[in-house]
Amino acid sequence: MPSLEYTAIAQCPAEAVWTIVERFGDIAEWHPGISASCLISERADAGSVRELHLPTGEVLTERLTVLEPKQRVLGYRMEITPLPVENYEASVSVQPLSDTAACVITWKARFDVLAGIDVASMATAVTNLLRDGHHGLEDYLLSDQLSAAGFAGGPHITPVALSKAYRLINHGPTVLVSARHGGCDNVMAAAWACGLDFEPPKVTVVIDKIAATRALIERSGFFALQIPTQNQLDLTYAVGNTSRAQDPDKLTHAGVELFEMPGFDVPLVEGCSAWLICKLINEPHNQETYDLFIGEVVGAWADSRVFQDGHWRYEQAPPALRSIHYIAGGQFYAIGQSMNVTD
Ligand SMILES: Cc1cc2nc3c(=O)[nH]c(=O)nc-3n(C[C@H](O)[C@H](O)[C@H](O)COP(=O)(O)O)c2cc1C
């Protein structure tokens, strides 16, 4: 009997995820492999049955067998199914991730494969079903959050697994550093930002003592690095050449629009291609002596038009979305050609 588990992080509080997952009959709202679904009973409680319609026109039913709202766990059994399996039982568990606004979702399934069917390919198909469900739920949560936040650019923004977050800055782009404290938001440009560690992901950025953004980071304990696009060349140069200390309205003058990700009180710049929210790892010696700030990445997102499946896809995306790389004196390069090593 194959017994499969798919565990992944969702950048959303456990309670918010659970309110969606527990609506047993509404899975079609977020699972890309299900075109319609409904509950064949008044309420979703243990024993109730949902009917699922697949894009192929086939229909299957699943009975809710476990519903534990306090533990945020539900389990179900497949009853009528066109799949070549029997005794199919599955569960979903949503648990908070300490010190973050994210949660861990564990999807499990076990089943017997009918005689004559290849067990390994059936296990792969079910793993894909669990994975697609997880990604569909992430997209659904994000579009919900972004529309609640009134952010129009939402549909392209997708969460990036923290284990892949380092890839967002590995190519050395110029970044925008943003921070908030005491009702004050600010953004500056930084060329000296890079990855420091994979797990948990960490980044470094050099922030000079003359930058007004620095005090906001030190006081709030948080900052964001985001990757401006070729489209934002002038904006990047403007926030890198004017200090908020001289022009309190610098963000308006530079054309910066801010938004937030729910659960994080850190301002983010609209129109970038990726965003990393970082918790400051306070190292007063490094900060004072080298202007070097270290942050642990606690949330990561990217524009899915240009970053997909853990990889930048600049060659397929509109040129306006390319990252920019600072030299000096107002000169930048946009990212160029992709190359792969030969084996
Ligand atoms: C392209 C570019 C890259 C920059 N890189 C850095 C950097 O890595 N570190 C830094 O401290 N300042 C850097 N600066 C300068 C700051 O962005 C600049 O001091 C800014 O005005 C600070 O804004 P604030 O005082 O409002 O925080 C850069 C400026 C530009 C234009």
Enumerate the domain spans of the chain.
Answer: 3-148, 154-334
pLDDT at 1 (0 to 100): 83
Q: Which ligand 1 atom is the nearest neighbour of the CA of 241?
A: 21
Report the CATH number of the 3-148 domain: 3.30.530.20
Task: Please give the pLDDT value at position 158.
Answer: 85
Q: What average pLDDT score do residues 275-280 get?
A: 97
Q: Are strands 175-181 and 184-190 parallel, antiparallel or unpaired?
A: antiparallel
User: 211 alpha carbon to ligand 1 midpoint, in Å?
Assistant: 7
Find the 207 Cα to ligand 1 centroid distance in Å: 7
Tens of pLDDT, residues 135-157: 888 777 766 655 554 444 455 88
State residue 6's pLDDT score. 94
pLDDT at position 262, please?
A: 82
Does the pLDDT of residue 99 top 90, yes or no? no
- pLDDT per position as a tens digit, 253-268: 999 999 999 889 999 9
**For 17-36, what is each residue's pLDDT tens digit?**
898 899 999 999 889 899 88
Question: Which fold would CATH assign to domain 154-334?
Answer: Pnp Oxidase; Chain A (2.30.110)
How confident is the model over 6-25, as a mean pLDDT? 88
- Cis-peptide into 248, omega within 30 deg: no
Distance of CA 157 to the CA centre of its chain: 8
Contact 86, 111 (CB under 8 A): yes
Closest CA to 320 of 260, 273, 278: 273
- Read off the pLDDT of residues 179-219 as tens digits, 9 standing for 90 and up: 999 999 999 999 999 999 998 999 999 999 999 999 999 99
Residue located via tokens 């069917």 = 117
In the reported structure, the alpha carbon of residue 60 is separated from the centroid of ligand 1 by a whole-number distance in angstroms of 58
Reported as a pLDDT band with limits 50, 70 and 90, residue 294 is: very high
3-state secondary structure of 72: coil
**What does the pLDDT look like over 38-82, one tens digit per residue?**
998 777 788 899 999 998 999 999 999 999 999 999 999 999 999
Which two tokens mark 103? 């949660």
Which one, of 14, 36, 10, lies nearest residue 25 by Cα?
36
Any bridge partners for residue 192, and if so which?
A: none
pLDDT score of 12: 78
Q: Is 57 exposed, middle or buried (0-12, 13-18, 19+ CB in 10 A)?
A: exposed
Ligand 1 contacts CB of residue 242 (under 6 A): yes
**Residue 154 confidence (pLDDT):** 52
Q: Reply yes or no on whether the pLDDT at 98 is more than 90.
A: no
Report the nearest-CA residue for atom 29 of ligand 1: 240
pLDDT at 43: 72
Mean pLDDT of 118-123: 93
CA–CA distance from 92 to each of 3, 17, 42, 248, 252 (Å)?
A: 14, 11, 22, 49, 45
184 lines ligand 1 (CB under 6 A): no
Q: 284: which strand partners?
A: none
Closest CA to 299 of 222, 208, 192: 222
C-alpha of residue 212 to centroid of ligand 1, in Å: 10
Average pLDDT, the chain: 91
Say if CB 110 and CB 89 are below 8 A apart: yes
Q: Convert 162-183 to b/e letters by CB count within 10 Å (16 or more is b).
A: bebbbbbbeeebbbbbbbbbee
Q: Is the CB of 31 under 6 A from ligand 1?
A: no
Task: Tell me the whole-structure pTM to 2 decimals.
Answer: 0.64
| Residue 331: C-alpha distances to residues 99, 236, 247, 326 (Å) | 40, 12, 24, 6
Percent of the chain with pLDDT over 70: 96
Rounded to whole angstroms, what are the CA distances from 236 to 116, 163, 233, 315, 327? Answer: 61, 28, 5, 22, 13
The string of pLDDT tens digits covering residues 210-253 is 999 999 999 999 999 999 999 999 999 999 999 999 999 999 99
pLDDT of residue 157: 87
Q: Backbone dihedral region of 194: left (phi > 0), alpha (psi from -120 to 50 degrees) or beta?
A: beta
**Position with higher pLDDT, 166 vs 10:** 166
CB of 241 shorter than 6 A to ligand 1:
yes
Between the alpha carbon of residue 201 and those of residues 41, 270, 299, the distances in Å are 45, 23, 10
Cβ(232) to ligand 1 under 6 A?
no
* H/E run at residue 253: helix 250-254
Judge if 3-148 and 154-334 fold alike in CATH terms. no
